[in-house]
Amino acid sequence: MSSEDYGYDYDLLFKIVLIGDSGVGKSNLLSRFTKNEFNMDSKSTIGVEFATRTLEIDGKRIKAQIWDTAGQERYRAITSAYYRGAVGALIVYDISKSSSYENCNHWLSELRENADDNVAVGLIGNKSDLAHLRAVPTEEAKTFAQENQLLFTETSALNSENVDKAFEELINTIYQKVSKHQMDLGESNANGNANGASAPNGPTISLTPTPNENKKGSANNCC
């Protein structure tokens, strides 16, 4: 295996998951952000897809590794695998479809249940271009976001509106958290997701979980 498989082109690597109901536009948000592409008749995602984009914050190159999920996954074991090691998440709903907004609560609790406590979360009302079909008032969503300490943006993957902003805000937040977390914890916490984040060059953050991760959920295996 040659070295080109290994990314030396970043300082920090953040795993971010995209969650939300099926059909709210997660895949198009992602392709708009990473490839600046939009596919009018894209099919629903099967399983999980990956994409990356590198941003620069504070002179640090931050690689966002974004997991695009199907939104229909019934198996908790699989969803928990998706959330494992994520430092950020975007809960996406469709502003023209109230049910997708109502489900955000469910997505949030699933996220809280599976992901790291420090995970940064953004709420995204997608398809803002469909203003004439709007079913979810901006203010209501904004309030919901504030109550749950979520970032909030309304975006349109179709016309690119706010897409970069939404991702950048989230990544910024994660970066702040990581820096703070690092300051708070020093290098004492090896179990955290940001272990060794202080190293200036090379890959420093492992997002792959360590086997002896000690979290709630799957801890008790007895019958």
Partner 1 sequence: MDNILKVPEIVTNIASFLSIADYLSFQQVNKQVYTIINGKNDSNYWSLKLTRMGLKRVYSNETKDVNLLNENDDDSPLCIFEVYKSFTSQESKRIFKKFYRCYSSYARKLYNNNLANFFPASYSDDPLKQTRILNSIKRYNFSNKNDMETFSRIDTNFNILREIFINSVLKETELNYQSNNLAAVARFMKILLTSNEESNAIEFFKSKADLPPTLTIIPSKDRLFWEEQTNESSGKAVVFNSKNLDEYFNQLRDFMNEKIKLADILFKDEFPVILQFIESFIQDVLLDILNNILLSYSEFLKANGKDCKANYECVPELYFTFIKKFDTELNNSVNAGPTFHKVVHDLLNLYLEPFVVNYMNQTTRVFESLICSQLANYDIQVQNKEREQNEKLYNSLKGQTDATSTDNTVSSNNQSTVAEISINAPDTDPKGKSISQLGHSTNISDDKLDFLSSFTKIFKFSNNENQKLKQQLQIAYNLNLISNNLQNIKSLISLDLCYKILHETSEKTDEIYKFHTIESLLPLIKLRCQEIFKILITQLNTNHVKPAFEKAITLLQKYNPNEIEQIEIKFDSLSPANTQVEPLVQFTELINIGDIILQMISIFYKNELIPKKIIDKNKDFLNDVIQLKKNFETSIDDFVAEGLNIGINKLMDEVSFVFKTMQLPDDYNPSLPSINSPIRDIKPTKCAVRVVELLSNHCFLLTGATDKGTIDVYQQEIGERFFNEIVKHLKKSFISTEGAIWLICDLNYFYDFIANKLKQKNVVPYFVGLKSIGQLYIISSKDSKELGKLISDLGKFNGIFTQEEIYEFVQRRSDWVRVRKDVEKVMYGLGIRDCCIM
Query: Under the rule (CB under 8 A), what is the footprint of partner 1?
Result: 1, 3, 5-8, 13, 43, 46-50, 52, 65, 75-78, 80-82, 84, 195-196, 202-203, 206, 208-209, 211, 218-219, 221
User: From the CB of 192, what's the least distance to partner 1, in Å?
Assistant: 13
Nearest residue (CB) to partner 1, 188 versus 208: 208
Are 12 and 201 contacting, i.e. CB atoms less than 8 angstroms apart? no
Token pair for 61: 């190159």
User: From the CB of 221, what's the least distance to partner 1, in Å?
Assistant: 7
Nearest residue (CB) to partner 1, 183 versus 190: 190
Nearest residue (CB) to partner 1, 173 versus 206: 206
User: From the CB of 143, what's the least distance to partner 1, in Å?
Assistant: 35
Nearest residue (CB) to partner 1, 139 versus 217: 217
d(CA 15, CA 89): 8
Token pair for 179: 């820096």
User: From the CB of 214, what's the least distance to partner 1, in Å?
Assistant: 10
Are 160 and 29 contacting, i.e. CB atoms less than 8 angstroms apart? no
Sheet containing 120-126: give its strands across: 48-57, 60-69, 12-20, 88-94, 120-126, 151-154
User: From the CB of 9, what's the least distance to partner 1, in Å?
Assistant: 9
Nearest residue (CB) to partner 1, 10 versus 93: 10
d(CA 19, CA 107): 7
Token pair for 183: 């300051």
Token pair for 45: 């995602």
The CA-based dihedral angle spanning residues 107, 112, 113, 118, taken in that order and rounded to the nearest 10 degrees: 150
User: From the CB of 6, what's the least distance to partner 1, in Å?
Assistant: 4
d(CA 36, CA 42): 15
- Mutual angle of helices 163-185 and 26-34, in 10-degree steps: 80
Nearest residue (CB) to partner 1, 6 versus 143: 6
